[in-house]
């Protein structure tokens, strides 16, 4: 399931994060790459142990916790601390699949990568190229969103970032270990939850609201690891 999460960050939030990170310590993006990705990846990445990266990551995490659409779509159990990357001058990231397990350097924190996320931090008219292209059974999907918007997609997906030929593409990226590891089950739960919310908004006293809510939570009990 690919889903756009609009306005994770407000425009002032984006401006604040960009002021924090733009002048920080950017390094070769392959510092966090696996063997497969290292052959395809050409970008810069904010040093994940820098104070700026940690503060900016905390701001992103705070925003995610307040966004009900993210919670509904990802059903997060663990979220990897957000990282930040930048593409410019023709840099790109060729076809790759994210590592199944993502450890955090310096401690024993690790997650299973069920859901991948890219949160855009540059307006699309400020750079050319840089589309995130995600392949699934229905073809290739090209994604280039306004600053503050985010795309969620299965971490099992083959994906790539097209070359940036003008300006700079700046984004935050991270992974989610979901309470429901199967993408098909997460999709069903998300669609059911969305239908319940729509029904509740129009006819909150309809008896089906209670019944469908019960079905939703019973499926969570059946499928979730928590």
Provide the annotated binding site for Fe cation: 96, 98, 159
Q: Distances in Å between the alpha carbon of 30 and those of 41, 101, 112?
A: 7, 17, 20
What angle do the packed helices 51-65 and 11-21 form, to 10 degrees? Answer: 160
> What are the structure tokens assigned to 126, written together?
């400020």
List residues forming the annotated binding site for 2-oxoglutarate. Answer: 169
Beta carbons within 8 Å of 107's beta carbon, 6+ residues apart = none
Distances (CA, A) of 113 to 7, 165, 178: 23, 30, 8
- In this structure, what DSSP letter does residue 125 have? G
- Between CA 22 and CA 86 the distance in angstroms is 10
Annotated binding site: 96, 98, 159, 169
Q: Show the CA angle centred on residue 13, arms to residues 7 and 15, nearest 5°.
A: 115
The CA distance from 55 to 31, in Å, is 20
Q: Determine phi and psi for 3, rounding to 5 degrees.
A: -145, 135
């Amino acid at each position: 399931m690919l889903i756009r999460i609009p306005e994770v960050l407000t425009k002032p939030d984006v401006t604040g994060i960009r002021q924090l990170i733009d002048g920080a310590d950017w390094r070769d993006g392959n510092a966090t790459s696996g063997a497969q990705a290292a052959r395809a990846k050409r970008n810069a990445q904010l040093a994940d142990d820098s104070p700026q990266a940690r503060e900016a990551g905390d701001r992103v995490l705070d925003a995610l916790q307040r966004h009900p659409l993210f919670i509904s779509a990802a059903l997060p159990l663990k979220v990897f601390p957000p990282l930040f990357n930048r593409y410019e001058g023709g840099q790109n990231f060729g076809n790759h699949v994210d590592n199944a397990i993502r450890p955090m350097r310096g401690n024993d924190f690790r997650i299973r990568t069920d859901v991948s996320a890219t949160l855009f931090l540059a307006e699309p008219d400020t750079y050319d190229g840089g589309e995130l292209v995600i392949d699934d059974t229905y073809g290739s999907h090209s994604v280039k969103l306004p600053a503050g918007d985010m795309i969620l997609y299965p971490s099992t997906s083959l994906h790539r970032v097209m070359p940036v030929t003008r300006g700079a593409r700046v984004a935050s990226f991270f992974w989610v270990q979901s309470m429901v590891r199967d993408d098909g089950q997460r999709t069903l739960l998300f669609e059911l939850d969305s239908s319940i919310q729509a029904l509740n908004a129009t006819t909150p006293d309809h008896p089906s609201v209670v019944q469908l809510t019960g079905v939703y939570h019973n499926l969570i009990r059946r499928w979730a690891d928590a």
